[in-house]
Structures are given as C-alpha cells and as structure tokens.
Amino acid sequence: MSESINDFDEDKIEKIAKIVEKNKSLPSPTTNAESIRRELEQNTGIDKEVTEMPDGSFQVRDSKIKPIYDKIVKVLKKYCDIHEENYNIIALWIIGTHIHKQFSTYPYLFFNAVKGSGKTRLLKLIAALSYHGCVLASLNEAVLFRTAADRTICIDEFEKIHDKEKSALRELLNAAYKKGLFVERIKKVKNLMEEKFESERFSVFCPIAMCNISGMDEVLETRCISLVLERSELERINYLIEDFDEDAEIKEIKRTFDTVSVVSVGCVSSQIYTSWNDYVLNLLNYTTQPTHTTQTTQTTQTTHMFEKIRETRIDGRHLEIFFPLFLLADKCNVLDETIKTAKRITLEKRREDVIESPDIALLEMLSNMEETINYIPIRDLTNQFRELQEGAEWISAIWVGRSLKRLHVIIDKRRINTGREVMINFVKVKERIKMFKRVEEVAK
C-alpha cells in the first residue's frame, strides 16, 4: 500500500492496513483493488484510487488530486502553446504552490523567451491558478521579504537581474526557495513610556515564477526549473483574449482548491524526507537506526516511487529542486513522464555547466597540459586561459588563483619576485574533470 498519511489518526491508519490485507485474498486483482477502494470509503471515509503493483502490493492514491491536475493541463493547453512535456511540469508546480510549506525546498519556475512568445500570458495564467498568485512588473527586496509568506509571486519582464544594484534582491532570491531561512529587520516601537527598537523576523520561503528575455543569473538559475518558450503559430492561441477572471474552467479549478484541501487528504507526508534519507542510507549499507514508523513508511508507502527516483541518477541540487514535483507526480499518477522531463532538463543543465562554467574550462585546460611537478607561474596560466577564452578581460591572475583554490588542485604555492607560482596536482585534475563530465555517462 502506498500513501502519505499526514493528517490521519492511528486508528484510521490501522483500518487501512487491515482492509488492504483482507482483500489481497480475493481471486481477481481488479476485484482486489475495487474491493479495497469501496471498503476504504465505507470504513474510513476516504475516497481513493487503488491499483495493484507488479510485486503484488497495492498502491493507494488520492483520487481527487489527479482530476485537478488534468483540469489544469487542459486550461494551460487552451491558452498557451508550449512543448508538450512542459504542461506536466507547470501543472504540478501550480498544485504544489497550494501546499509548498510541506516541502523543505520549492523550485522557482523560469521562462526564457523572445518577445511575443506568450511569457506574460503564461505568468498571468499561473498566477490565476496558484496559491494567492499575483503578477508583479518589478520586485525589490523589501517587497519580497515583507509579503512572501502567504502568496505565489510571478515576476514579469524580470530583466537586469545581473546588475550590481540588484545584489540584495539576488541574495534574498538565492535563499527564498528553501524553508527555514529568514530575514531580520529592526523596527522602532513607541509606547507611552519609551521608544525602543525591536527585531522583526520574516520568512522569505515562497513559490516564485519569473520570465525574461536576457537570461538568468548563474547562481539563481540553479534554484530554477528553466523552460524555453517559443512564439506560437497556432491561430487559435493568437486570437484568444485573456479572460482568466471569468473563465468557467479556471473558476472551477479555484473552487476545487478552496473546497478540497490537498493537505487534508494526506498528499505529502511530513516524514517523506526522513524516509528518503533512510532509504538511501540503507541502500548504500550505511549504518543507521531508523524508527519503526520510518521503516513502515518505506516498505508500505514509498518504495516504488523511491526506486524510480533513484534510477534517474538525478542528484545534488537537481534532486533537491525536482523532489517536490516527483512527490506530486506520484500522487497524480504521472511520475514516469515527469521523471523523463526532469532527466532531460537536468541533462541539458549539466551539459551547459560543463560547456559554460569558467572553472570547468580552466580545469579542462589543465588536463590538456603536460604534467609537471615544477611550480607554474599563475601569470602564465592566466595568459594561456585568457587566450583560450578569446581575450576575456575579466580573467585575471586573482581569478585564476581563486579558481584553482575552489577546485582543490593546488599541492603547494609560493611567492617570488616575479609573482605567485603554484604546483598543480594533475592526478586530481583528471579525477575532477572526469567527475564534472559524468553527464555523458548519465546521457547514455
């Protein structure tokens, strides 16, 4: 049985387990699943979709979430012309905004496109369907940290994010995708007796969707699921006028979100991250002492999903970003197609990192050099790298020195009359370039 049972009491959990076990003995798998569904509804008041898995276990999903997903996809296709697999990602993201506080991280959506490709229309539609969604023409750090707690923010024409003047906003956005990070400000408090200053804390964790033409800041993009939009040639799309406030289908979806609490039907378990970590540690034979509750959760609720996620080989920040959507996709019975899209997006991002990252480019240059145990002047490395990068003016001896330090490939360093020199660990250089280019292995 596979279910995240967040708000169920222990008696109800026990009833579900007994009902599933009793119906396993029926002659037909279809009868088994239908009998479990009917008895669950009669005895626990839970309306669920029940299917038998290949190993003979039964998976129980909330039957109310999938129809919401289908309706959102239908509305997106009505107003927007985008790549087919992107409807899936956007619909799941919209559903997740309504319960984003149950996740430890929640990815940003970023749309990059040329003028006239429907960026603004898509953002308005996302805002109309998301949790307390709003579209902003601009955003500063004060607006973000004072209003983030209870809404979904969609930022249109989010240009010049690279500018120095927006460094404070970038710092906040780099943190706002993750729960538990706060901003503190001092405010003046007056009363009859005295005037004093008090600290005020703001949570910046919230769902954010952005779009622009110029592209995203390199660090901020690692917090995003980036999708490219193209100008539509469909006559139906180009003649439609935005009518999101009065559209009957959109109104129905919003009413559904108002009346059917996704949280109350146990969409995401509060123990899901603990369960995943225990699953990984047990898989790698790492010594751990999981609780009885966690063991039960893994064996009866999430094993099939965890196995599929692990097989993607998506890890690190990429897994952190996609994990909430994987959980939602499993509940909507669209995990396989979501995984396929996530693998494509992750693969493209890793390839871009290998091609565009200056650190990796420097590492690749070192891997092609003749190995030596002698000291190498940083000035020579700088000139050689600048030449490879077609005379890029930002490349300096200071940058090269810091990059070598970040890459952990320096055995020793010294300063002489002509400048700094370093001894390179070429064995580690080859190990690191192989690690960074593991993307080719993932592609296979």
Chunked into runs of 10 residues, the chain (444 residues) has average pLDDT values of 37 50 48 54 50 48 77 95 94 93 92 88 95 88 81 87 79 86 81 80 89 84 91 89 92 83 52 89 71 47 85 92 94 93 90 79 92 94 91 88 92 91 94 72 49
SS3 category, 263: coil
Q: What's the fold here for domain 357-443?
A: Arc Repressor Mutant, subunit A (1.10.10)
Query: CATH number of the domain at 66-259, out of 3.40.50.2300, 3.40.50.300, 3.40.190.80, 1.20.1640.10?
Result: 3.40.50.300
Q: At what angle do helices 65-79 and 119-129 cross, to 10 degrees?
A: 150
pLDDT of residue 185: 81
- Ramachandran category for residue 175: left, alpha or beta (phi over 0 → left; psi -120 to 50 → alpha): alpha
DSSP 322-351: HHHHHHHHHHTT-HHHHHHHHHHHHHHHHH
Domain ranges in the chain are 1-63, 66-259, 357-443
pLDDT of residue 439: 53
Q: Say if strands 419-424 and 152-155 run parallel, antiparallel, or are unpaired.
A: unpaired
Give the DSSP letter of residue 268.
S
User: Cβ distance 198 to 186 under 8 Å?
Assistant: yes
pLDDT of residue 409: 93
Residues with Cβ < 8 Å from 30, sequence gap 6 or more? none
pLDDT of residue 385: 93
Q: State the number of CA atoms in the 13 A half-sphere of 163 facing the CB.
A: 8
Which amino acid is it at 294?
A: T
| Farthest CA pair distance, the chain | 87
Q: State the number of CA atoms in the 13 A half-sphere of 418 facing the CB.
A: 8
Q: Which residue has the tokens 């999708």?
A: 227
pTM for this structure? 0.75
Question: How far is Cα 262 from Cα 302, in angstroms, rounded to an integer?
Answer: 18
Question: How far is Cα 128 from Cα 299, in angstroms, rounded to an integer?
Answer: 39
pLDDT of residue 63: 55
What's the burial of 195, exposed, middle or buried (CB within 10 Å: 0-12/13-18/19+)?
A: exposed
Question: How far is Cα 204 from Cα 436, in angstroms, rounded to an integer?
Answer: 32
User: Cβ distance 125 to 145 under 8 Å?
Assistant: no
- Vertex 262, ends 268 and 71: CA angle to 5°? 115
